[in-house]
């Protein structure tokens, strides 16, 4: 699966900027570490429920998660 919306890449950049590990992010969102890895790798598209959980942990606008950076 291709990460058409750059979701995984953008999420990885946000986690790095917040100095948050995948394990910490998984714990705070209630996602499994495997699910987080799949999201970051672009192998899994997030459900709406997952997006809401992410936005509860990372205070950004949804558009930031799908923005195409050059």
Does residue 1 belong to any structural domain of this protein?
no
CATH number of the domain residue 25 falls in: 1.10.260.40
- pLDDT, tens digit, for every residue of 6-59? 899 999 999 999 999 999 999 999 999 999 999 999 898 899 999 999 999 998
Domain range for residue 60?
A: 7-66
* Residue-level pLDDT at 70: 52
Does residue 31 belong to any structural domain of this protein?
yes
- Which spans in 1-70 are helix H? 7-17, 22-29, 33-40, 48-57, 62-66
Does residue 36 belong to any structural domain of this protein?
yes
What pTM value is reported for the model?
Answer: 0.84
Q: Bin 42: left if φ > 0, else alpha if -120 < ψ < 50, else beta.
A: left
Count the domains in the chain: 1
């Amino acid at each position: 699966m291709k990460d058409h919306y750059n979701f995984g890449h953008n999420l990885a950049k946000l986690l790095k900027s917040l100095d948050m590990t995948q394990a910490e992010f998984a714990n705070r969102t209630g996602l499994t570490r495997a699910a987080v890895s799949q999201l970051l790798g672009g192998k899994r598209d997030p459900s709406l429920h997952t997006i809401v959980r992410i936005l509860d942990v990372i205070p950004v606008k949804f558009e930031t998660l799908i923005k195409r950076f050059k």
